[in-house]
Structure 1
Amino acid sequence: MLKFLILVLSLPKVLLFNLRYLPFKQAVKLPIFIKFDTKINVPGRIVLQNNSVRTAMIRIGFHEVPTKDVSRAILNIKGKLIFLGDAHIGCGSIIHVAKDGTLILGNNFAISAHTTINCYKSISFGKDIQFSWDCLVMDCDTHEIYDENHNVINLPKEIIFEDHIWIGCGATILKGACVPSDCVIAAHSSVTQKQFEKCTIIAGAPAKSVKKIGGWKL
């Protein structure tokens, strides 16, 4: 009953959001369901690059985890957010794309809850990406650091996730990281580099490939 009530309360926002941010042919199918209490600031662009757009293929703010207080999701898109397929982004999650940033979410992208993605340049996810809760992904440091000649030494660097990756709770993925396909990032790991092997558990701070695996079940 509660879920039904939440859905009913969300319908006006769902309708307005789709009509405002998507082309009409896509919007009338209501592909993006967004919870009524989600905070929205979208002066940028939201793009659905998918030939089979359908109702509720993207859900924002609905999924909860029992270990957390329920809080609203935040969508702050000043650059470009591109969906390549199905996605769900759980409660309390923050998606921020700066003016010059591009965030790409591949098909079957999922965040359980309370995760932040902060994109100033470029972050791309392949298909079948599963986040646990309390994760952080940042392709920048948000504050500039200068050398003695006043040159910026900490520019944003793109982050790349390939396909079929599971990110454990509390993991941090920072600028310049590249995570290969079929990997599992262990809980509370800090991923800051590109030197990882495919089909491995990535763990530690700083993280490294610690164990070869045959894959994982989505």
Structure 2
Amino acid sequence: MRSPFLYFKNFIGIGCRKLRFLSAFSAGAIQTFDKLHVEIYKKGKIKLGSYNQNRGNLYLVADGGELKIGDHCFFNTGTCITAAKSVTIGNNCKFGNNVVIVDHDHDFRNKTDSEFISADVVIEDDVWVGAGAVILRGTHIGKGAVIGAGSIIKGKIDPNAIIIQKRSTDI
């Protein structure tokens, strides 16, 4: 059980972020965040549902995009979510250690410019994402899907799918 002091500390922390970012940041009731890092740039927005929690560092970045997280989600240590366009996470989702979610990447074909290519990321309700997974732009993960540890995901994942990516160990 978490100490009452932690709830008070989180209440104050969420309140300070609301004041700092004004309408660009909103959060529902009772957030139990331990080391929450929030960055909002270029009219980005972050909206947190209610009763979310994390263990260790959680990085939320809205760099011109919109990041929406539903209710009752859990983020383990080192999760990093960056939205340049749109990242939407449903209710009751669980994320393992060091999960990375990004809705953009560099256009490596353009040699003269460092522009980003962006596409929405949608993670529906009741999804579990294992440690070290990376979810890339243009991904839609269906309700109840399980993403195995270390997986790199791009594209459409069907509801209730179990994704395990094996890698060759030949040297």
Q: TM-score, normalised by structure 2?
A: 0.80
Of 8, 13, 18 in structure 1, the residue corresponding to residue 15 of structure 2 is: 18
Higher gyration radius (CA): 1
| Higher RCO, 1 vs 2 (CA within 8 Å, ≥6 residues apart) | 2
- Contact 2:61 2:83 survives alignment (8 Å): yes
- Contact 1:42 1:75 survives alignment (8 Å): no
| Residue type at the aligned position of 1:105 | I
Of 158, 165, 171 in structure 2, the residue corresponding to residue 204 of structure 1 is: 165
Distance in 2, matches of 1:153 and 1:96, equals 18
| Residue type at the aligned position of 1:104 | K
The Cα of 1:131 is off from its aligned counterpart by 0.5
- Contact 2:17 2:25 survives alignment (8 Å): no
Does residue 138 in structure 1 map to residue 138 in structure 2? Answer: no
The percent identity for this pair of structures is 21
The alignment partner of 1:85 has SS state of coil
The alignment partner of 2:150 has SS state of coil
Distance in 1, matches of 2:113 and 2:6, equals 51
* Structure-2 change in CA distance of 1:112 and 1:153 (3 Å): closer
- State the Cα RMSD in Å: 2.9
Distance in 2, matches of 1:205 and 1:97, equals 32
The alignment partner of 2:15 has SS state of helix
Does residue 82 in structure 1 map to residue 51 in structure 2? Answer: no
* Structure-2 change in CA distance of 1:7 and 1:187 (3 Å): same
Distance in 2, matches of 1:201 and 1:90, equals 25
- Contact 2:76 2:98 survives alignment (8 Å): no
Corresponding residue for residue 209 of structure 1 = none
Does residue 58 in structure 1 map to residue 26 in structure 2? Answer: no
Deviations for 1:133-163, whole angstroms, at most 9, x for unmatched residues?
A: 111001111x444547x68885111100111
Q: TM-score, normalised by structure 1?
A: 0.64
Q: 155-164 vs 85-94, which deviates more?
A: 85-94
Does residue 102 in structure 1 map to residue 66 in structure 2? Answer: yes
The Cα of 1:43 is off from its aligned counterpart by 6.9
Does residue 179 in structure 1 map to residue 141 in structure 2? Answer: yes
- Contact 1:42 1:76 survives alignment (8 Å): no
When the two structures are aligned, how many residues end up with a matched partner? 164
Which 5+ residue runs of structure 2 have no aligned equivalent? none
- Contact 1:131 1:169 survives alignment (8 Å): yes
| Residue type at the aligned position of 1:76 | E
